[in-house]
Structure 1
Amino acid sequence: MSDTIDRTIALELASLLCSRLCHDMLSPVGALSNGLELLAEEKDPAMRERCFELLEQSARVSANKLKFYRLAFGAAGGFGDLIPVAEPRALIEALLAGKDRVSVNFALGNDMLPKSAVKTLLNFALIAIDGLVRGGTIDIAAEVRDGAAEIVVRAAGPRIAFDPAIGLALDGKLAPGELSSKTAPAAMLQVMAAGLGGSVQYALSEEALVMGAVIPA
């Protein structure tokens, strides 16, 4: 029975993560489609140049999001068990491109991190970015010591948008039927950490959202 439940949860998580990916990709891909339609009809050289600029921007956003989600949600088969910390750093900075009201600081104590730690870091960063709808600062720290990767992500800003259901998912207190595409990344982290013998936790105050994890390496 337990194996059946585990498979059910895994299937639902995979479906919801796909839904999250499709939702987040809809805007930049839709902009590409609209830009191509405008380009086909536009004859003015200046306007056509503007269309090309918009197409380039939408293509860049689409590529950045796909690269981010490939490692945050997927198996990321192109990487080994250890991933250079420059990779998640570049993915987060690319995802924040154009978000002038959000700044990010990194304190990464190792040149390489286990893939599970990188996935945790990226998903924490995603939750933090979603929470700073009014702008703010994200501080990201990670290091490997005593055989485990320790990750901390802090989001500070005015009126942080944090759905309590995401907190329940991080705590492992959401039943499979209660999950959504919004809470699936947090639930995935909790399942992954627990399966590796690690832990995930968070604390929310008026000043900041702090998320932490210990992932055995």
Structure 2
Amino acid sequence: MNILALEPLDLAALVASRVCHDVISPVGAIVNGLEVLEEDKDEGMREFALDLIRKSAKAASARLQFCRLAFGAAGSAGAAIDTGDAEKVARGLFADDRTQLNWESPRVFMPKNKVKLVLNLCLIAAACIPRGGVMNVSIEGEGDDARMSVTVKGPNLKLASHVADLLEGRSESGMVDAHGIQPFFTGLVARSCGMAVQVAASSEDVTLRAAPEAPAAGA
């Protein structure tokens, strides 16, 4: 297993590609809806187009707000972020007709990288339930003792085989693409705030846990 080492520009490009991939679908749907409004005079089709535009604009906004906290530089260096804001953007992205989001956390201010970490764990977990299901998010403790977990259950439950390795900064091929950059980025965020991520998968659920990294022997 090879340790991954990305140049800063390559990391930025791959993360930007991932964000664009997430946003392009609803934006494309908005464009399609506008084209229908311009070209079709049928009242039923125009109403359909307006509904498509409304729903797609809401989805695009939710994805952008989530990405701003999960990937962006929200706040100044060293800033703390309200976990209530994290819950709000998570509900905007995940809580829909297919997915039930249970967020169990007191509303506190946490270092921004720890907030980014829990949101990125949610993204990894959501990918395990492509047809929806239940997502349980838990944050316990504060400061250096903060711990978090995300558990998902649902039909067609599956954890991609490369996720655990990428979280540790490793890859069998020694490379990572835009599809794998998000778990790799999550591992970087975890290590930046002194936390380690563990993955547990069964036929019934998938759980990702982040806790303070144990000190090295002899440290």
TM range (shorter): 0.7 to 0.9
The separation in 1 between residues aligned to 2:26 and 2:61, in whole angstroms, is 9
Separation (CA, whole Å) in 2 of partners of 1:78 and 1:32? 33
Is 2:49 aligned against 1:70?
no
* Structure 2 residue corresponding to 1:207, chosen from 204, 207, 212: 204
C-alpha separation in 2, matches of 1:47 and 1:69: 32
Question: Residue in 1 aligned with 2:179?
Answer: 182
Structure 1 counterpart of 2:111: 114
What is the distance in 2 between the residues matched to 1:76 and 1:147? 20
Determine helix, strand or coil for the equivalent of 1:147: helix
Displacement, 1:64?
Answer: 0.7
> Structure 1, unaligned stretches of length 5 or more?
none
Segments of 4+ moved more than 6 angstroms: none
Partner of 1:34: 32
Identify the residue that residue 139 of structure 1 maps to in structure 2. Answer: 136
Q: TM-score, normalised by structure 1?
A: 0.86
Q: 1:79 to 1:51 in 2, by over 3 A?
A: farther
**Alignment-mate amino acid for residue 99 of structure 2:** V
- Of the structure 1 ranges 204-213 and 143-152, higher mean CA displacement relative to structure 2 is found in 143-152
Unaligned runs of at least 5 residues, structure 2: 214-219
Shift of 1:212: 1.1
Shift of 1:180: 1.9
1:89-136 CA-partner distances (Å, limit 9, x unpaired): 1111111254x2221111103422221111111111111111111332
Q: Distance in 2 between matches of 1:203 and 1:160?
A: 13
Which position in structure 2 is the counterpart of 1:129?
126
Higher relative contact order (CA 8 A, sep 6+): 2
CA separation in 1, counterparts of 2:6 and 2:183?
Answer: 17
TM-score, normalised by the number of residues in structure 2: 0.86
Alpha carbon RMSD of aligned pairs, Å? 2.5
Aligned to 1:168: 165
How far residue 141 of structure 1 moved from its aligned partner, in angstroms, is 0.5
